[in-house]
Structures are given as structure tokens and as C-alpha cells.
Amino acid sequence: MKRKLIDIEQATEHFRDGMTIMIGGFMGVGAPPRLISALLNSNVKDLTLISTDTAFVDTGVGPLVASGRVKKVIASHIGTNPETGRRMISGEMEVELVPQGTLAERIRCGGAGLGGFLTPTGVGTVVEEGKQKITLNDIEYLLELPLRADLALVRAHLSDYQGNLTYQLSARNFNPLMALAADIVIAEPESVVDIGSITPDCVITPAALIDHIVCPQENQ
């Protein structure tokens, strides 16, 4: 069996300049704090960040934006992090705003190997700019393309030593979708338990999707 448990230093071996990274969380809730800190400390730059939002300046993925490590953000809203807006207006960073349901579905399509999907959301607004429009049964739709990443960093409540994951309440948010849509997936659970401790019907993200598990302090 592949040993998936790694320490935070080993996780940094997967970071590189210019990569596309998906990071779970909503306003910082469900974001993987140790992995984000490791990403900051690694000094990688020119990242494309895919996240539901950019949280606050000092919360969740916010410090990545504030430190200037991100060249492009793909998110559903940025209003709670003034640094994101400042960098966007000044031209220091590109921001692609995507309706939240559309963002979730684009990630899901990326994980499912689909070529995209049709949605009426955004028709007649700035969201449609540069996108193909298709009319079916007299209804206009936008063709939205899938999103994938080089790396996904996800936060879990529990993991077993194989990488089967559970999540806690709203901290689940985008994490399971992102675990489907990246070449390498690193999970940061609160605790790691023995194989068999998580019953199969409670597993939300199966171990087959997880490449590495960052060892919690209690398991070191």
C-alpha cells in the first residue's frame, strides 16, 4: 500500500512557480491552514488560484493574495478582501469572477472529464463576454468550460491512513469537488484514524482521489 502520510515539509515539494492551485474553503472556513502557511513560506509565485472567494486579508487564502504570490484568481466573490480588489484595479492581478453555482459546476465537470455545460446564468450580463452562446428550445445558454488544477489543497475533518475523508458541516463546501479536479491532491485532516474506523457510507471523498495526507500534529 502506498504510504500517503507526509509531513508539511514534504508537501512543499509539490509547490512550484506558475502552477494552478485549487484551495477549499468558504471565507476561510474549511481552508487548510497549515498547507496555506507552507505555500506562503515556500515563496512560490505567479500562482493561478481557484477558490470560492479570497476570504479576508489575514484569513484562509487571503494572505496568498496579500503577499503578491497570485497572478490570477478565479472565484465567485472578492468583496471581503480589499487587497484583492486593489490588486485587480491596479492591474497587479487578474480576477475572473464566476457565479458560485457555475464555479462549482465547472470544477465538477473538470473532475468528471466533461467538456463543459450549458447554463442560462449570466446571459445578458458581463459574464457572457467572450463565451459561446447556444440557443435550445428558444432559451439562450452560455457554454461554460471545465476547470482543473495542477494541485488541490483540501481540508478534512477525518482521514484514515488510506485517505478516505469526512468533512464537518459547512467546512465541507468546495473541498470534495476540488479533490476530483486536480492532478495531485493533498489533504489536511484534523485527525488521522485507523483504516476501518470510518464506515464506508460516511466516506465523502474516497481514498483513490487522495495522493498525500499531511500528518496532523497529534499523529507525529
**Distances in Å between the alpha carbon of 76 and those of 36, 40, 41, 70?**
20, 23, 26, 16
Tens-place pLDDT, residues 126-140: 889 999 999 999 999
The set of cell numbers assigned to 196 is 476501518
Q: Regarding the domain with residue range 5-214, which homologous superfamily does it belong to in the CATH classification?
A: Glutaconate Coenzyme A-transferase (3.40.1080.10)
Tens-place pLDDT, residues 12-49: 999 999 999 999 999 999 999 999 999 999 999 999 99
Containing 176, the helix (H) or strand (E) segment is: helix 175-180
Scanning the structure block, which residue is given the C-alpha cell 473532475?
111
Ordered alpha helix ranges (H), 12-71: 33-41, 62-66
Would you state the pLDDT for residue 3? 80
Would you state the pLDDT for residue 218? 55
What does the pLDDT average to over 158-186? 96
How many Cα atoms sit within 13 Å of 5 on the Cβ side? Answer: 17
Would you state the pLDDT for residue 219? 53
* pTM of the complete model: 0.93
Q: Quick one: pLDDT band at residue 215, thresholds 50, 70, 90?
A: confident
Give the torsion through C-alpha atoms of 64, 208, 196, 189, to 10 deg: 0
DSSP 56-104: -TTSTTHHHHHTT-EEEEEESB-TT-HHHHHHHHHTSSEEEE--HHHHH
What does the pLDDT average to over 153-161? 96
Mean per-residue pLDDT over the chain, rounded: 94
The set of cell numbers assigned to 5 is 502520510
Closest CA relative to residue 152, chosen from 116, 189, 177, 171: 177
